Structure 1
Amino acid sequence: MSADHADPARRPVARKVARVVLLDPQDRILLLHGFEPADPADDWWFTPGGGLEGDESREEAALRELAEETGITRVELGPVLWRRYCSFPFDGRRWEQDEWYFLARTDQTETAPAGLTELERRSVSGARWWTCGELSAARETVYPTRLAGLLRTLLDEGPPDAPVVLAPEIV
């Protein structure tokens, strides 16, 4: 057994995660700006969402996380667009996530992240609505890494008939 697995504080955090591809009436996507708590210069953009709590469904988790992280509650939750496995270091731990990305639409564009966890308060610095063109031209790190192309396909072709399994991302 590796040293990481012997020490409970070092074991990977395995989570089932629900994420939201939230679009406004102009087809802009909402992304959150996050950073490594120990190094704020190590930053990225990502979709709202997080881990399931208790026995809640992925749909329930998606709506709860969206409300906590953005204050947006007037949402029409659609189908699962994509599924992805990812593994990454964050806040001194390794996280392993089975992520489902739900399509959602809203006309509520003002954000008010009143329900952030302690860790989120130390690692999320804001939110921004992005057009597909802005996302395609972005020089910042965005997760999932192919989000600009995925969004373009979604806007051009509509949701897939079944969730698309994205390539794993291991950092």
Structure 2
Amino acid sequence: MRQPRPAARILLVDKADRVLLFRFTPPDDRAPFWCTPGGAIDPGESYAAAARRELLEETGIDADPGREIAQRHVDFLTIEGAEVSADERWFRVNVDAHEVDAAGHTELERQVMTTWRWFARDEVAGWPEMIYPADLTDMLEASDEPR
């Protein structure tokens, strides 16, 4: 049986309209993949508080995540090998520009997510490795502010 996993995920978008993704290299035989910042909520923590904490821990950015922009239910195998059923709440954070500060990464994160980069939207579709969520560009477009 899958474990429930409430989680907060962040679409971190810079002024050049690029999105930050981390490359995960699982310790098992799974292929590397790219994913947005975010992670499981701690007991008693709200989704917004988890989004803010995860953003700070994974990027060094301390910012209000704003309003929730999407909710998704997905089943997957975590990097630690646990089968989970995730209730993901998504937030979008816009920044001018930012260098990732990995000082807040956990020991596991230091082992499995050693690479990150800002992706232009047109790079996402043709990228040779899996990117999660698979419909990332659609999510970005849906979260764009009216111009």
Scaled by the length of structure 1, the TM-score of the pair is 0.76
Matched residue, 1:118: 107
Matched residue, 2:10: 20
Distance in 2 (CA, whole Å) between partners of 1:96 and 1:130 is 27
1:116-136 deviation digits (Å, cap 9, x = unpaired): 223322321221111111113
- Contact 1:76–1:105 under 8 Å retained in 2: no
Letter in 2 for 1:27: D
User: How many residues align structurally?
Assistant: 145
Q: Choose 1 or 2 for highest CA Rg.
A: 1
1:85 aligns with 2:76: no
Matched residue, 1:134: 123
Greater per-residue strand proportion: 1
Matched residue, 2:60: 71
Distance in 1 (CA, whole Å) between partners of 2:126 and 2:139 is 14
Percent identical residues: 37
1:1-47 deviation digits (Å, cap 9, x = unpaired): xxxx5xxxxxx3321101110111111111111121223x6111111
Deviates more, 1:55-64 or 1:110-119: 110-119
Scaled by the length of structure 2, the TM-score of the pair is 0.87
- Contact 1:36–1:43 under 8 Å retained in 2: yes
Letter in 1 for 2:28: A
Which residues of structure 1 form unaligned runs of 5+? 6-11, 160-171
Distance in 2 (CA, whole Å) between partners of 1:76 and 1:55 is 18
Say what the alpha-carbon RMSD is for the aligned residues: 1.9
1:119-169 deviation digits (Å, cap 9, x = unpaired): 3223212211111111133232011111123223434xx38xxxxxxxxxx
Letter in 2 for 1:17: A
Which residues of structure 2 form unaligned runs of 5+? none
2:23 aligned residue (33, 36, 60): 33
